[in-house]
Amino acid sequence: MEAIDDSRIARSRLTGRRTALVLAALAGLLLLAAAAGVVLGSERVAAAEIWAGVWAHLTGAASPLGREQEVIIFGLRLPRVALAAGVGAALAMAGAAFQALLRNPLADPYILGVSSGAALGSILGLMFAGQIPLSRPLCGFAGAAAATLVVYGLGRGEDDPARLVLAGVIVTTFLSSVIALLTALADDIRLRNVTIWLLGDLSSGTASGLAFIAAAVAAGAAVLLAQARALNLMMVGERDAFALGVETARVRWVVFVTAALLTGAAVSAGGAIGYVGLVVPHLARLLGGADNRLVIPASALGGALLVLVADTAARTVLAPRELPTGALTALIGAPVFIGLLVGRKRSAVS
């Protein structure tokens, strides 16, 4: 697949109508998926009773739900739906930012080593500080930050994004070996917890973890949208962007760190869920063009939608057994990405 061609930005200017249509369509699909996620589950609760219970909570009226149903809906399903949406939004925005910054359509948090750093930090928190509140999110956050600093330090080069990708591959290989060593040394209980978490697991989310990912998504979206215009210019070339007045070094650092910390928050909250940051930004560009003022929010909504659909399927297809969410995102994402590759190749030939 060739590098991102941002001459499309010049040929197809972003309009308010197109932005509104794309974002409204994605938001509508996300609301439908969230409603399905609340209604569907191994324990059947009538949809009318669920919405009456939600309305009762909002207005302070008496709820028609029993105590057990209240726990299922408000203690389990709603927080999990929100967590899935937050994790998906964070991963997709991080992928969109990395692809724009590095001008490489194959760049994503996993290739750049950021996810491996977050995974290692989260595993250390899970194994050695599991009883401490927020230990896993904070350790994952620290791991992502450390991996970011190492990758950025090794790969920093003048207008040479390939160096960052190569540095990320090296760091990923090293950190994956460390993770394999830790799992080999873990006892049976810890090994099972780590293995499930590495496959992508949203079942162990907490209120504090949900608040953490919500804050990370809000802050990350604000920062990336503020840098969207600069990213549009840098995708053409950093030298050209610098000549046009963009502080390329500052933008590169801000975007890289923001995307890395979004990844750390997502991985620490939901485990290693793959393909979201790789596939969703491509689909966002197909829907609305390559302008990052639309790609970033569209990726956030699309990533939330993908992870939410995958997680709902993971806990309902074989209920009461639960499948790894990360495995289902791979089953969905890999064929979609192959289709994008084939379609791009055919269009290039024709």
For every residue of 339-350, DSSP letters joined together read HHHHHHHHHHH-
Q: Is the dihedral of CA 284, 117, 199, 331 positive or negative?
A: positive
Predicted TM-score (pTM) of the model is: 0.85
Q: Which of 19-33, 145-159, 336-350 has the lowest mean pLDDT?
A: 336-350
Nearest-5° angle of CA 70, CA 74, CA 76?
105
Q: Which domains does the chain have, with CATH numbers?
A: 7-18+81-349 (1.10.3470.10)
Other Cβ atoms within 10 Å of 338 Cβ, number: 10
Dist CA 341 CA 191 (whole Å): 37
Which of the pair, 93 or 319, is modelled with greater confidence?
93
Predicted local confidence at residue 96, as pLDDT: 93
* Arithmetic mean of pLDDT, 95-111: 83
pLDDT confidence bin for 158, thresholds 50/70/90: low
* Arithmetic mean of pLDDT, 230-250: 81
What are residue 300's phi and psi, to 5 degrees? Answer: -60, -45
Nearest Cα to Cα of residue 34 among 72, 74, 70, 84: 84
Q: Which of 90-94, 247-251, 318-322 has the lowest mean pLDDT?
A: 318-322
Taking only the tens place, the pLDDT of each residue in 161-184 is 677 778 888 888 999 899 888 888
Q: Is the dihedral of CA 342, 344, 349, 350 positive or negative?
A: positive
Structure tokens belonging to residue 221: 């979206």
Predicted local confidence at residue 344, as pLDDT: 63
Structure tokens belonging to residue 30: 């996300």
Rg (CA), the chain: 20
Dist CA 33 CA 28 (whole Å): 9
Cα-based distances in Å from 249 to 10, 239, 328, 337: 24, 11, 38, 31
Dist CA 27 CA 302 (whole Å): 9
Residue 151 contacts residue 167 (beta carbons within 8 Å):
yes
Nearest Cα to Cα of residue 218 among 270, 274, 280, 261: 261
Predicted local confidence at residue 8, as pLDDT: 47
158: DSSP letter: T
